[in-house]
Chains A and B, each alone.
Chain A
Amino acid sequence: MINRMSTKFRVIASYLFLAIVVCWSLYPAAWVVLSSFKPGKSLYSESFIPKSLTLDHYTELFQSGSLMFSTWYMNTFKVAIFSMLLSTFLVTITAYALSRFRFPGRKASLTLVLVLGMFPGFMSMVAVYILLMQLGLLDTHMALVIVYSFGSIIFNLFVAKGFFDTLPKGIEEAARIDGASNFRVFTSIMLPLSKPMLVFVALTTFTGAWVDFIFASLVLRSKEKWTVAVGLYDMVNSYQNAYFTLFAAGAVFIAIPITILFMYLQRYFVDGLTAGANKG
């Protein structure tokens, strides 16, 4: 009897605990979403749930001449799509070559990528900036696409390589016995099998382009070239609470698609992290 009572107490306490955790987790997001529907511009609000709701901020985002939100949105979309395509291609071929083949210098290349990943990224930003200046690529979206894509090799290589490592060697050998060439094995057997990994790499780069405000703000100097992340950061930094509700609307607009993508992808993220750390 006492045992059952204590179990009941434990379960109730657990539900209570979980409810508190969920409130804590959701409060900031809920607050931003509600603020985005709140009339007025300021941060200050009398109550958690606004007394009246409005869609004004969303329409203003896309109609206001000074904000250029729709231009930024299109810019980001363009950069994100092209980086996604290029980076998926680069990461796949790099990881495939380093995973399925044995050749001199392979271990050294892997170690090199590992070491390169440990340098603080800002250290190289100044040099990349001057490099882009030399190439006349400053203030262009192409610069972002190139830098994001080649940068993603270093970030995603080990996840992608880990994936190729797990593909059974038997399939490949069977195909080779049937006379398939290296190129054919790669394109018609390995690539179709690696769809989940391709999706993972593609979407991480895609989302990366939406949230990077540091490198993008360094490279993109003119306002009409900005991406949404740069625009939002600028909105908060230069106006603080004067444009808060507008920021909230912009934030919701960007966060929703990315949040959904992430929720869909979270399994891969966890797998990638654990695979990198304690496979074997």
Chain B
Amino acid sequence: MPSKGTNRVSRAQPKPHSDGPMKTRHHMVAPVLSALIPGSGQIYNRQWIKGLMMLLLSGFAISYFASTLRTAVWGMITLGDVPSRLEEVNGRSVNVPGDHSINLMIQSLIVLFLFVLYLIVYISVIKDAYRTGRKRDSGLPPATFRQTLTFIHDFKFAQAMLVLPGAGILFLTILPIVFMVLLAFTNYSSPHHIPPGNLVDWVGLDTFAQLFRLSSWSGTFLGVLGWTVLWAVVATATTFISGLAVALVLSQKEIRLKGIWRTLIIIPYAIPQMISLLAMKMMFNGKFGPINQYLSHFGLGQLPWLTDPFWAKFTVIIVNIWVGMPLSFLLISSVLSTISPDLYEAARVEGAGRWQQARIITFPFIMFAIAPILIIQLAGNFNNFNVIYLLTNGGPSNPEYQFAGHTDLLITWLYKLTLNNNIYNIASAIGIILFIIIAGFSIWNYRQTRSFKDEEMTQ
């Protein structure tokens, strides 16, 4: 019985036939057989179990695709021909179901994805038949089923582990994303193109043209984009600065009970955002909320915290400091603790004052370590759904905007467009733009740090 080692070697470099002319032509026959009837090449190679499994799989696959592939291609191209409609049958109007463009599109996508997967299996079956044929040509026996399993366990362990997660990601993440990207090139939107009563059609780049050229949409887009950028920058900067201030104050050597202070300060971070933000929404309630109650108690007027465009923006930034400061504080503290006290000692000997020490040692250290995290946080704030959605839900509404309010970010606007207003094509176009912005940020960031380039094991 050949050991696992030879199995591997013979796979990588088939033995040359220096000992005379090739007598058999298994490496030609087997792949051709498998190409005609997948699995038959394996049976020809005397790999009964593998061959039978492939035959069964292919039989199943071919009967499945025979009935679905045509519809899938047709569905993908046309997105359906006939909408549902009411027809008179014996004097009564009856709803006759037609083609549901969107369901058709998803079903077609599923079939096409499965088909590509099957093609990959098909090609590897042919390759496998070729390899085994080659091995038999050089006089070695074909691997038994047991040996194949051992081979997978020994050399394809990682790939075998990734099958289930990979399949899940393919259908639950990649397929939905492909679907949504495709929607940007259709007219799937309320009120005129919502199935089943209407059909959806491919419109090319019209959606993007609408978003950028039509003043009502482009005005909203630019307005919301401007506020999103402003929000991301201000939100990131304020949480960073406040976190830095608290961390610096706490890091002074004269401060006692550091652990207790630290625990108390990071409590907001530990409370689920969904709960703390809903509570904040109540706190800032204009009529009954405690904040306005205190203000009027002290004789100051009540403020429209969440209902006035300016104050709503102010409130979300303040609340975001409450939510985000603890994390910045934790991160900066952990950086501070890594700075060697010797550095400060040396600076003191040179006659540097407290401020100079901070400027020369502390800040460069923090910026060096925190910069990549700041970029991640900037990207995170760009898509900070929770704070905006739970606190103001994008409001107060802006009459000049299409379905957006004064505090809406691109991400909350996207959410409203899909789930409340059913304008899927525009939402999808916005999603694509958001992706490009975030991806640009992140790629730049990863280029800057070595962690992605060089991640060989430390030992």
Contact = CB atoms under 8 A, between A and B. Distances in A.
A255 B350 CA distance: 51
A17 interface: yes
B161 A276 contact: no
Contacts of B153: 181-183
B254 A18 contact: no
Given A114-B442, A118-B435, A165-B458, A233 B180 contact: no
Given A266-B270, A277-B373, A169 B459 contact: yes
Interface residues of A, number: 97
A122 B169 contact: no
B288 A183 contact: no
Nearest to B103: A130
Interface string B419-438: 10000100110010011001
Contacts of B272: 207, 210-211, 254-255, 258-259
B330 interface: yes
B162 A116 contact: no
B249 A14 contact: yes
Contacts of B179: 124, 126-127
A77 interface: no
A262 B372 CA distance: 24
Contacts of A100: 158
B458 A116 contact: no
Contact of A120 (B174, B252, B275, B411): B411
B210 to A, nearest CB: 18
Contacts of B110: 131, 134
B168 A153 contact: yes
B449 A44 contact: no
A116 B322 contact: no
Majority secondary structure, B binding face: helix
A212 to B, nearest CB: 8
A43 B173 contact: no
Contacts of A192: none
A96 B435 contact: no
B192 to A, nearest CB: 18
Contacts of A123: 176-177, 180, 414, 427-428, 431, 435
A179 interface: no
A39 interface: no
B278 A247 contact: yes
A193 to B, nearest CB: 13
Given A103-B159, A115-B439, A183-B153, A29 B271 contact: yes
Contact of B172 (A42, A128, A270): A128
A252 to B, nearest CB: 9
Interface in B101-160: 102-103, 106-107, 110, 153-154, 156-159
A116 B177 contact: yes
Contact of A96 (B161, B171, B442, B459): B161
Given A21-B246, A115-B439, A270-B331, A94 B162 contact: yes
Contacts of A182: 153-154, 157
Given A29-B276, A123-B431, A236-B281, A270 B261 contact: no
Given A93-B161, A120-B383, A126-B180, A154 B169 contact: yes
A32 B418 CA distance: 33
A42 B7 CA distance: 76
A265 to B, nearest CB: 9
Contacts of A21: 246, 265
Contacts of A122: 385, 411, 414-415, 418-419, 431
A150 B169 contact: yes
A82 interface: no
B322 A28 contact: yes
B289 interface: yes
B455 A280 contact: yes
A103 B152 CA distance: 13
Nearest to A212: B274
Interface centre among A15, A31, A260, A274 (most CB of B within 10 A): A274
B373 A29 contact: no
Given A120-B434, A251-B278, A270-B330, A263 B263 contact: yes
Contacts of A181: 153-154
Contacts of B282: 43, 236, 240-241, 244, 247
Nearest to A96: B161
Interface in A206-231: 207, 210-211, 213, 218, 229
Interface of A: 7, 10-11, 14-15, 17-18, 21-22, 24-26, 28-29, 31-32, 42-45, 48, 90, 93-94, 96-98, 100-101, 103, 106, 109, 113-116, 118-120, 122-128, 130-131, 134, 146-147, 149-151, 153-154, 165-170, 181-183, 207, 210-211, 213, 218, 229, 232-233, 236, 240-241, 244, 247-248, 251, 254-255, 258-260, 262-263, 266, 270, 273-280
Given A166-B457, A233-B278, 20 more contacts: A11-B255, A28-B276, A28-B280, A32-B275, A101-B158, A103-B158, A116-B169, A124-B173, A124-B176, A124-B177, A128-B176, A134-B103, A149-B168, A211-B273, A211-B275, A236-B282, A254-B275, A255-B271, A266-B330, A273-B376
Q: 5 nearest interchain CB pairs?
A: A124-B176, A127-B176, A101-B158, A262-B270, A97-B158
26 contacts: A14-B249, A17-B249, A25-B267, A29-B271, A31-B279, A31-B290, A43-B289, A98-B158, A103-B158, A113-B169, A118-B438, A120-B411, A120-B414, A122-B414, A124-B176, A153-B169, A166-B457, A181-B153, A183-B153, A240-B282, A241-B288, A248-B279, A266-B270, A266-B330, A273-B327, A274-B334
